[in-house]
Amino acid sequence: MDFVVEKCPLDILKLPLVDMDRSLAYDAVNRVLVIVRTEKGYSRQWYDDIFRECPNELKDSKMCQEAYVINPELALFMPEEQISYEMVLELSKNRTSFWNGFGLERIPMKYRDYTICQNYITRISGINVKYVPDDVLDQNLCNLAMNQNGNSFGYIPARFRTYEMCLQAIQTTSVTISWIELAERTPIQYQTEEFWDAYHIRHQYFNRYNELDYNIPSRCQCKQCKNKIYTK
């Protein structure tokens, strides 16, 4: 293992970690982290990679605190007991890297309070509404999610879907859910002529934009489709 640490430190994580080797592995990973952090020719990106890939059971508080100073986003790759609320609060305030994904799903449940959830929704992505605990989610968070990203609609529970949201979703949703699904998720009392007109227009637009030729679903209840039925 010493040979690996000296000659090709980035390969350290390719070594099998058996129980006997745990303390050796811990020393080795720490030494590698020091090397990539301090030696010329190694980038911080490599430090991040090694920290991320390192098995969680080797990450103690010393290693985690060092990592947090170097890159606060590494908190996402720490064992839960090493993550503090303050770390999560900082993360929630910044649009973070691609590692973060939508973000909230990587945050321990015990820290997903109103402030953290609202920050993740408004500052990172409305899609995070999907990961808000049931007892925290309310109408305001759902509205904020829709304002941030129309594609959040699919993750908003039926009891929080307003008519405006349904219309907005039909007018703006692109990829997350299909048109049919979208209509099915819309409560029947909201399926007005206005709703179906927007549905029809969006469907045509989608076809044109993607050079596709999907038929307008027969259940479309817009003015145009209804009239066709009557004139046949």
Interacting residues toward Zn ion by CB under 5 A = 200, 220, 222, 225
HEC profile for 33-98?
HHHHHHCCCCCHHHHHHHHHHCCHHHCCHHHHHHHHHHCHHHHHHCCHHHCCHHHHHHHHHCCCCH
Output DSSP code: residue 161: -
Whole-Å CA distances, 73 to 34, 69, 164? 19, 10, 36
How far apart are CB 188 and Zn ion at their closest, in Å?
17
How far apart are CB 222 and Zn ion at their closest, in Å?
3
What is the Cα–Cα distance from 232 to 97, expressed in whole angstroms?
A: 56
By beta-carbon proximity to Zn ion, the closer residue of 135 and 213 is 213
Instruction: State the virtual CA torsion across 163, 164, 168, 171 in degrees, nearest 10.
Output: 60
By beta-carbon proximity to Zn ion, the closer residue of 44 and 223 is 223
How far apart are CB 128 and Zn ion at their closest, in Å?
33
By beta-carbon proximity to Zn ion, the closer residue of 83 and 225 is 225
How far apart are CB 200 and Zn ion at their closest, in Å?
3
By beta-carbon proximity to Zn ion, the closer residue of 132 and 198 is 198
How far apart are CB 214 and Zn ion at their closest, in Å?
12
By beta-carbon proximity to Zn ion, the closer residue of 122 and 221 is 221
By beta-carbon proximity to Zn ion, the closer residue of 112 and 200 is 200
Instruction: State the virtual CA torsion across 77, 99, 108, 29 in degrees, nearest 10.
Output: 0
Cα 209 to chain center, whole Å? 27
Residue found by looking up tokens 């993550």 in the block: 83
By beta-carbon proximity to Zn ion, the closer residue of 156 and 220 is 220
How far apart are CB 201 and Zn ion at their closest, in Å?
9
Residue found by looking up tokens 């007892």 in the block: 135
188 Cβ neighbours under 8 A, 6+ residues apart:
none
Q: Is residue 8 left, alpha or beta, with left meaning phi > 0 and alpha meaning psi from -120 to 50? A: beta
How far apart are CB 194 and Zn ion at their closest, in Å?
12
